[in-house]
Structure formats: structure tokens, C-alpha cells
Amino acid sequence: MRAVREGGFTLLEMLVVTLLLAMLSLLLSGGLVLGFKGWARQERDADRRAASMETAADLRRLLEAAQDGDGVPGGEFAGTEDRVSFSTLTRLADRQMHRIHVGLGIDRFHRLVMRWQIRPDVECGSSLPVHEDVLMSSIASLNMRYWQSGKGWTRNWQGDGVPDLVGLALARQDGERMAEILVHPVTGSSERD
């Protein structure tokens, strides 16, 4: 007589199915982890690009409004290849337009730093506090250049009014370079006699 087999799975069949399901879930979870890491990297890159664009817009706005110091000591437009200082008009948190003196450069912590001070009236003579704002981190270099009609580009600018054009390029420590910002200071006293 033949043995009648009852319906069901053998132990070996159950082990094979369990192993296949475990391998499939392992592959899927690895793909999900990889996908989430890629998503987080894209978010960081997008945030960094947005911050870079915002900083570039702020720098462009400040440099476009650059002015000569009008004889006020320390107020003239001056710059080297890796730093620049100038006076400019800008709207501050009190929603008022103020003439401020700005200095831009890279500090020892590889940050693009803007130091600024509201320019006191010449008659007032009071000393106002110097503020420091970190505009960007992980900066490897700041490259400035200055254009004067008839003379061309130079890497140094000292007390000859405001340049006709200012070029500013930043390189990050990870090797990424931001597009160069070229600005024509429109309200500065760059007109020549």
C-alpha cells in the first residue's frame, strides 16, 4: 500500500523560502539606506547652493553700493587679492538706510567673514561697535580683482576712488568653485574728471 501524503510543505521547503525572503529584505533595506543617504546628500548640496546664492546676492548688493570715503580716514575703497574694505549704503535691521564701513576676508577658521561698522558722522566722532558676520564656512580662498578704465585689471586697489568693476571669486575647501561675481559699483564715486 501506498502512503497517502497529506497537504503541506516540508521543512526543507520552508527553510528555502525563509532564506529567500531574508535575502530579498536585506537587498531592499540596503537599497533604501542608500537611497536615503543620496537624498540627504542632495538636500545638503541644495542647502549649500542656496546659501551660496544668497551670500553672492548680498555681496553683489553691498559692492554695487560701494562708495569712496569722501575724505573720511579709513573710509576709502581699498583691496588686495584676498580682502577688501569699503564704505557702502545698506538697510539694517532698524529698516533705515545707513552708511557702513565693510571689511571682507577669510579668517583663520576658513570662514568668509564680514566685519562692519556704522559710519559715525564726522562731527559726532563717537566710536560705534564693530560687528562680525560669518557669511560662509569651509572657504579655501577669496580672489579679488579690480578694473579701472584705461589701466585694466589689478589685484591691489588703494585710495584711487572706487574701481569701475570688482571681481570676486570664492573656492570652497572641497574644491568647488563658485561663479565669479562681477560688480559695477553704481553709486560709488568712481566717475573720473
What's the pLDDT score for residue 166?
A: 93
Judge whether residue 165 has pLDDT over 70. Answer: yes
Work out the burial of residue 63: count CB atoms within 10 Å of its CB; fewer than 13 is exposed, 13-18 middle, 19 or more buried: buried
What's the pLDDT score for residue 188?
A: 43
The confidence band for 191, taking pLDDT boundaries of 50, 70 and 90, is very low
What letter does residue 177 receive in the DSSP assignment?
Answer: B
Q: For residue range 102-127, what is the model confidence (pLDDT) as tens digits?
A: 999 999 999 999 999 987 665 455 67
Percent helix, percent strand, percent coil in the chain, to nearest 5: 30, 35, 40
Grid cell 567673514 in the structure block, residue: 113
Residue-range domain boundaries for the chain: 52-183
User: Residue range 38-43: average pLDDT?
Assistant: 92
Helices (H), strands (E): how many in the chain?
Answer: 1, 11
State pTM to two decimals. 0.70
Judge whether residue 65 has pLDDT over 50. Answer: yes
User: Residue range 78-94: average pLDDT?
Assistant: 89
Identify which of 88, 48, 45, 55 has the alpha carbon closest to the alpha carbon of residue 169.
55
Residue 84 CA to residue 47 CA, distance in Å, equals: 27
Identify which of 91, 87, 156, 169 has the alpha carbon closest to the alpha carbon of residue 120.
87
